[in-house]
Amino acid sequence: MFPRPAFALLAPSLLLAGCAGYNGSLDSVHQPVVARQDLTLDLQADSGRLAPGEDRRLTEWMAAINLRYGDRLSIDDGGDGSTGRAEVAAAAGRYGLLLADRAPATGRPDGAGTVRIVLTRTTASVPGCPDYSHPTTMTADASTSSNFGCATASNLAAMVADPADLVRGAPGSPTADPLTMSKAIGAYRAAVPSGAGGATVKGDSAGSSPK
């Protein structure tokens, strides 16, 4: 008689496991996914600089790919990346971007005297959202809806300035000093109240003498 009740207890868990979109926790199963894409442009170089007319090709290429913040530009010349660096840096500076020190591996440029410009672009998206496969109404399985977390994850993916930060994070400033940042708060707390003879904040208006 014991196997029958044991199977009766096991059956509900098997049924719940087969429900599409089932999530029995308070953690969202939908998370941003970061994708990386490398785009390349091969330009001719002459004596360490871009050949005549190649700067125009570079400018048109940047405009065509809609260069934007978060993109990573680098130079692959088979060496230290100094070939045409001044011209490429000037073109990237119009978009507020700096050149990276090293280029990712994309294969050697074809032909001698060729320099490759590499654009590394990362994008963030949340696959499967919105997800209405599991109902949002009250259910007997005590689970969250299949769409739970889609709004938060989708907003994060759309708003993050550099999607690569979702993978490796961004380092803080090495010169940040908590004591310096809290100096203004300390001065405010230590100030003598104006009613007790302390200093007051003075404002100057245009065309009048300070009071």
CB 199 within 8 A of CB 188: no
The answer to pTM > 0.75 is no
**Model confidence pLDDT, tens digit, residues 22-80:** 677 778 888 999 999 999 999 998 888 899 999 999 999 999 999 988 899 999 988 88
Cα–Cα nearest to 148, from 16, 33, 32, 29: 29
pLDDT band with cut points at 50, 70 and 90 for residue 16: very low
Laid out side by side, the sheet with 33-46 consists of: 49-50, 33-46, 114-125, 72-76
Domain coordinates of the chain in residue numbers? 34-123
Q: Does domain 34-123 have CATH number 3.30.1330.60?
A: yes
**More confident position, 167 or 14:** 167
Cα–Cα nearest to 157, from 125, 129, 184, 201: 125
CB-neighbour burial class of residue 87 (10 A; exposed 0-12, middle 13-18, buried 19+): middle
